[in-house]
Chains A and B, each alone.
Chain A
Amino acid sequence: MRVAVLALAAWIPAAALPAFAGPGQDPVAWLQRAVEAARTGTYAGIVVHATGERSSVTRIAHFFANGTEVERIEALDGPRQEIVRRGDELQCYYPDAKTVRLDRRVTARFFPTLIFGPPEALAEHYDVKLGSVERLLDYECQWIHLDPKDTLRYAQRLCAEVTTGLLVRARTLGQQKRVLEQFGFSELRLGSAVPRSELKSPFRSLSKDWVKDTRPLEESRQVDTGWLVAAPAGFRKVTEMARTVPGRDRPVSQLVYTDGIASFSVFIEPLATGVRVSESASAEGDLSISVRPLSEYVVTVLGEVPPAAVQQVARGVTRRP
C-alpha cells in the first residue's frame, strides 16, 4: 500500500507537492510516521496535559540510541517528580520521599507516544482521514482525524509536524466534539536543537541510597488470572497481571485491553465481608469507570473509553471454567 502511495506521489507534478517528502494523502501512513517519529526522533519541549478540569505540565527530552528510546519526563507542577523511560522500562523518581519506583509501561501514556501496535489496526475501528494543515508553535502541522465506527470509543484528533511526523497536539473528543482530554507541546525543539545533556537526570546518582520500589516491575509480568473478559471488537488483550493495590491484603487481578489508542483495565477483587456494591458508572474527562458486583467479587473497569464501553465490559466478565 505504501509503495502505491509513493508511486502516486512520484507521478504528481512537482508543483502540486508540498515542500516536504511526506507520506502524501494516506492518513494511515501519517499515523505510522507519527509512531516512528515519537519512537526514533530527537525532540524536547514542554508538554501540557489537560483532562476533565485538571491539567499538568511536564518537560520532556527524547532520544533514540542503539535501538532503544530514552525519555526524561519532569513534572513542573506540584511536588518534584521525574521519570526516565528506556523503551518500556520506567524509573520514577520521588525526591521528597527518596524513593525510586521501577515499573514496565503497559497502559501509561507518554505524549507524543500514544499509539500502541500497528496503526493499520486503528483503521478497522476508526475512519481515519486527513484534516486541515495548521501552523502550531511555528511548525507546519497536519491534522489527522480518527472518528470511531461505533459508540465504544472516542474520536481522536492528532496533529503531526509535517517534516518529521511527530505529534504536536492530540485531542480526545466526546459528544458534540467536546474536548475531553488534550495533550500538546507548548514549546518544542527538534533534532540538533536538543543537546544530549537534557537527558541527564540528576537523580540517577542522587538516588543510589534511595528506597527502591521494585514491586510494580515484578508484578508487570503476565500471569493467568483465571478471568475471561468479553472485550468489544477491536480491543485486544495486552496482558493480565496480579497487582498489589493499597488497602487490599491480596493482589488484585488486572487485565489490560487496547484498541491501539484507547485502553482500559479490568480489575477484579474479592468483595470484603459486609461491603455492599451497587452497579454504577462514572466519567471524568475521557476516563470512564464502571463498578459491578459479581457474586463474591467486585469488577471495576476503568479506561479512556466512553461510559457505555466500560459498562459493557464490566457486564462481560466471567470466571474461566
Chain B
Amino acid sequence: MSQEISTLMDGELDSDEAARAIRALCASDERRERWTTYHLIGDAMRGDAGGRAARAQRIFDALEREPTVLAPRRPLSTRSGRIAFAAAASVATVAVVGWIGVQQGRSTGADTLARGAAPASSQPAIALPEPKLVNDYLVVHRQVPNAEFYRPASNRVPAAAR
C-alpha cells in the first residue's frame, strides 16, 4: 500500500488506479495516517514549520522503532526501483520530515494529478528520497552503529509486522 500511496502522490497512477488507491486509502486509519504524514513532509519541505516539534517527535519515535540492519538485504538493484522506494516509505517519515530546502525536477503533471486525487490538499506531489540510504550513511559517518545493527536476524521483527 505504501507503494501505491507514494505512486499516487507522484501522480503516476491513471484515473481508475488513482480512484482505487484513494478508496483503499480512506478505508484504513493507518493508511490515512500515512497519507497525512506524506503531506506533512510536503509542508516541511515548503518551509511550513507550524507544529513541527510535535511531528518531529513522531518521526524520532519512528526512528527508534526502525532498527538499522547490517545483514544483507535484497539489493535494491534486483527489485523495481519504484517498489524499493515505496517499501522504504514507512521509514521515509524518519529521514524526510524536517527536509527543508530544495526539491527540484518534478513535473507539473504530477502535481496536478496529486491535487486532483486529494482535493482537500493543495500540496504538490513529492518524490521521496531513499530514507534507508540516508540512515545507513549516518551509521557509516558516525562509525558507531547501535546494537540493533548486529541484532541476530531471528530476533528482528519484519518491517511488515511493525
CB of A265 within 8 A of CB of B137, answer yes
Q: Taking A108-B143, A248-B75 as contacts, is the C-beta distance between A52 and B56 under 8 angstroms?
A: yes
* Chain B interface residue count, Cβ-Cβ cutoff 8 angstroms: 53
A282, B95: Cβ atoms closer than 8 Å? yes
A90-108: CB near B (< 8 Å → 1, else 0) gives 1010101101010101111
B35 to nearest A CB, angstroms? Answer: 20
Contacts A101-B150, A246-B73 given; indicate if A280 touches B141 (C-beta within 8 A).
no
Decide yes or no: A278 and B99 within 8 Å by CB, A53-B56, A265-B141 being known contacts. Answer: no
Partner of A245, one of B105, B106, B140, B155: B140
- Residue-by-residue, is A59-100 near B (CB-CB < 8 Å gives 1, otherwise 0)? 000000000000000010011110100000010101011010
The smallest beta-carbon distance between B55 and chain A, in angstroms, is 11
Nearest CB of chain A from residue B93's CB, rounded to whole Å? 12
Is A276 in contact with chain B by the CB < 8 A criterion?
A: yes
Bound CA–CA A32/B56 (angstroms): 38
**In the complex, chain B residues whose CB is within 8 Å of the CB of A249:** 75, 77
A and B contact pairs by CB, cutoff 8 A, 19 listed = A79-B146, A81-B147, A94-B150, A96-B152, A99-B150, A108-B142, A246-B70, A246-B71, A247-B76, A247-B132, A267-B140, A272-B77, A273-B81, A278-B129, A282-B100, A289-B134, A289-B137, A289-B138, A300-B134
B143 contacts A106, C-beta separation under 8 Å: yes
Q: Cβ of A144 < 8 Å from any Cβ of B?
A: no
New A-B pairs, 9, CB < 8 Å, besides A79-B148, A105-B143, A280-B99? A107-B143, A247-B75, A272-B77, A280-B102, A281-B99, A282-B96, A282-B98, A284-B98, A287-B138
Q: Which of A52, A252, A291, A302 contacts B129 (CB 8 A)?
A: A291
CA distance A307 to B103 in the complex (A): 13
Cβ proximity bits A262-291 to B, threshold 8 Å, 1 near / 0 not? 001101000011111111111110010101
Give the shortest distance, in Å, between A216 (CB) and chain B (any CB). 8
Q: Is A319 part of the binding interface, using a Cβ–Cβ cutoff of 8 Å?
A: no
A275 touches B84 (CB 8 A): yes
- CB 8 Å contact bits of A223-259 with B (1 = contact, 0 = none): 0000000000000000000010111110010100000
Give a binary string over A172-212; 1 marks a CB under 8 Å from any B CB, 0 the rest: 00000000000000000000000000000000000000000
With a cutoff of 8 Å between Cβ atoms, the chain B residues found around residue A103 in the complex are 143
B60, chain A: closest CB distance, angstroms: 5
